[in-house]
A = this chain, B = another copy of it.
Amino acid sequence: MKYSTPYIAPTLVVDAVLFQIIDNVLNVLLIKRSKDPHKGAWALPGGYCPSGETTIDALHRITNQKAGVDIKLDMAHVEQLYTFDTVARDPRGHAVSVTYMACGLDISCSRHASEQTQFSPVDSLPKMAYDHADIIAYAHTRLQSKITYTNAVYAMLPKLFTLSQLQLAYEAILMKTLDKRNFRKKFLQLNLITGTDQKQRDGAHRPAQLFRFSSQTLQVLTRSID
């Protein structure tokens, strides 16, 4: 580790892809940039990670400050995505961006936000700053694959949910329709969820049985879901 010149570290930034299902559509949280570069375009919440703060701590701080989202409270699934070298992205020159993805439920983003924020459907993003559209696409692919071999959807559903709600969540993320009978059969075989004796009455039709996840921590499966 010899350097003839003193070592100068690249700028380290953390960017977050925050997913939530709203009205059966997968949404991602965006912030409108108030400054150049890309002033007026939409971007992922992100910010500097200084020496002494871990990237995960920076993630929590930044999403809280910029979007008013408390990941610890509201997002039950968090995972690191990828680290991008973003050569000409930062005014200081070379920056490295560590990206995270988090999934939650009933996230309100405006409460304490210091910037203009909104959730936007993943399949109809507005004009995005930087390469953030690519990062969202990458995160989406990862999420799609994650829910097929883990119980990660639990982060995007209420504690008690119906099988139809569960299926709608899968359909929103996978962006395709699934067969009701096959979906239920497969999911119940996996023992990820357990039935309760409660029902959800919800309009002029038969009430639905409510289920809960057997575990609220990430379970990795050997078989795959759809």
On A, residues with C-beta under 8 Å from B are 1, 3, 7-12, 47-56, 80, 82-83, 85, 87, 93-94, 96, 98
Contact = CB atoms under 8 A, between A and B. Distances in A.
Contacts of A49: 9-10, 96
A124 to B, nearest CB: 26
A50 B11 contact: no
A3 B50 contact: yes
Contact of A48 (B1, B11, B55, B98): B1
A7 B50 contact: yes
A11 B9 contact: yes
B83 A51 contact: no
A51 B82 contact: no
A94 B58 CA distance: 13
B55 A96 contact: yes
A140 to B, nearest CB: 16
